[in-house]
Structure 1
Amino acid sequence: MKRADILRAQYMRAWQNDEPAAIGDLFHPDAAASGLVPGLPLGAEEFRRLIAAIQDLVEPPRITIEETVEQGDWLAGFACMHTRRIDRHQDLNVGGMVIARFDGPAIVEAYNSFDFITFFEELGLLPDNTAAPCLTGRRRA
């Protein structure tokens, strides 16, 4: 089984089927994923908590792995979360990247990036186009 297929299957279990144990099956016990929360590597338990926090904000998401590149023990992929806001049932689609090193079927290290700005904008928790004023370098008074 390709690493991308392993990741897709475990994401489906964890996110869509609400099986938190899937994260423990995906991550080696000593593995940690960096990049989602600055300065806080996420092991399986922290990743389960992150999923639960996101699922409190949206309907059960479907995660698709759109494009992947595999080389040796490494997998790089672009993922997209397809879901809806709980409060308005409005579609929400947000992308992110995962780069992971596998040992057999388990991730032993991972680096992630997720578009939290768009995610929180679409939830109404940040103003629309938040990134544009940030790029000006001007601070709010």
Structure 2
Amino acid sequence: MKAVVLYDSAFGNTRHIAEAIARSLDGTGAEAVQVPEFRPKDLHPGDLLVVGSPINGWRPTPIISAALEAFGPDQLHGVKAAAFDTRVRLFVHGDAAKKLSDELRQHGAEIISAPQPFYVKGTEGPLLPGELEKAAFWARSLLHAVGR
């Protein structure tokens, strides 16, 4: 199994979370890959795909949405997947991670975790204290979910 952490990032906060997740996916050769460098043909059944985006207008960024929309109907069949977003802690906010999970499922991926939010202070960040540690813990839970 190989792992890819695909992300888009506006102010660097989502990138930091993606990198923390990739570092914590021990033994998978995981790397954090920003959308323009992503090669969907490199994913195979049994691989792990983690996708993240900041919330942008109550949804994932257009570039990450377009990357997922480019998958064929069953192109992710056999791929394990999970999604996360970065957001400001508000009473009412969007849920990019849930939308990403739904999109991954529509393309055949097996969702192995509930969508995960990570919090920033203000629109541009920085990440709130403890969020990188939370990302590392979540990544290890993903490994457990795939039996590693």
Q: Which has the higher strand share?
A: 1
TM > 0.5 between the two? no
Greater RCO between the two (CA within 8 Å, min separation 6)?
2
* TM-score bracket, shorter-length normalisation: 0.3 to 0.5
TM-score (norm: length of structure 2)? 0.32
